Amino acid sequence: MIRIIKIAGLILAILIGIVLLYLLAAFCLSIIAVNKNAFSKEEVTIYILSNGVHTDIVVPVKSDAMDWSRHVKYEDTKGNDTTAQLVGFGWGDKGFYLETPNWSDLQFSVAFNAAFARGSSAMHVTFLHPLVEGENCKKILISKAEYKKLIDYIQTSFHQDQQGNFVRIDTDAQYGSNDTFYEAKGRYNLFYTCNTWTNNALKACDQRASLWTPFDKGIFYHYSR
């Protein structure tokens, strides 16, 4: 019995050590800036938006470079609000998105599959009206050339059919009247989270970002000073 207790204690200590190492790496790599001195022509307004845990990258629905409403449809949402001028993209684990509308609904199997890349991914698309900057919303002005890089990054994150159409997920799991889900590429895991995807979106269009971060705080750190 004593031996079993010692082994259990050792395993627990190892697990705690792994968690602490992960958090330490997340903190250290989050505060290391990429594109620290980025300077852009102020031609296109985008946003990073957080709900306190998960981040979206928000862009204009329509611009000279892209009409997103041709790919993500207003009518795919319950509200079909064609007056919305912004659209938010949030990549994440499909099971977590569709089966966990509230934290109280979180199941161990869903969390385990998400953490260890055992599930598929989805893109959460939300049509939005003008945003107000605050603690969880930051406006970024970028050039048209940089926006085209961001468009390419977002587009290549979607699964597309043979005709190049984004593949909508047939679900009633929408969080509100102006959002919907599409099939996405990649697998969520501890080292590539929804916030890592957003952070990489900023890197892709040459904006300030963390070297690596799994958390929203790492992204916002570089826009809070």
Percentage of the chain with pLDDT > 90? 69
| Domain assignment of residue 46, given as a range | 31-221
**Is pLDDT at 105 greater than 60 in this prediction?**
no
174, 53, 219, 148 alpha-carbon torsion, rounded to 10°: 0
Does residue 9 belong to any structural domain of this protein?
A: no
Range with lowest mean pLDDT among 35-49, 65-79, 110-124, 126-140: 110-124
Does residue 105 belong to any structural domain of this protein?
A: yes
Does residue 13 belong to any structural domain of this protein?
A: no
**Is pLDDT at 212 greater than 70 in this prediction?**
yes
Cβ–Cβ < 8 Å for 18, 203: no
Q: Which of 48, 31, 67, 29 is nearest to 207 (CA)?
A: 48
Digit-coded pLDDT (tens) for 47-77: 999 998 899 999 999 999 999 999 999 999 9
pLDDT of residue 191: 93
Number of domains comprising the chain: 1
Could you tell me the pLDDT band of residue 173, with boundaries at 50, 70 and 90? confident
Does residue 20 belong to any structural domain of this protein?
A: no
Contacts of 162 (CB under 8 A, 6+ apart): none
pLDDT of residue 200: 98
Does residue 22 belong to any structural domain of this protein?
A: no
pTM of the model: 0.90
Strand partners, 57: 48, 89
Does residue 16 belong to any structural domain of this protein?
A: no
User: Distance between CA atoms of 121 and 29, rounded to whole angstroms?
Assistant: 25
pLDDT of residue 175: 86
Does residue 200 belong to any structural domain of this protein?
A: yes
Q: What 8-state DSSP symbol labels residue 130?
A: -
Range with lowest mean pLDDT among 21-25, 36-40, 108-112, 168-172: 108-112
User: Distance between CA atoms of 214 and 191, rounded to whole angstroms?
Assistant: 6
Instruction: Give the position of tokens 């080292």.
Output: 191
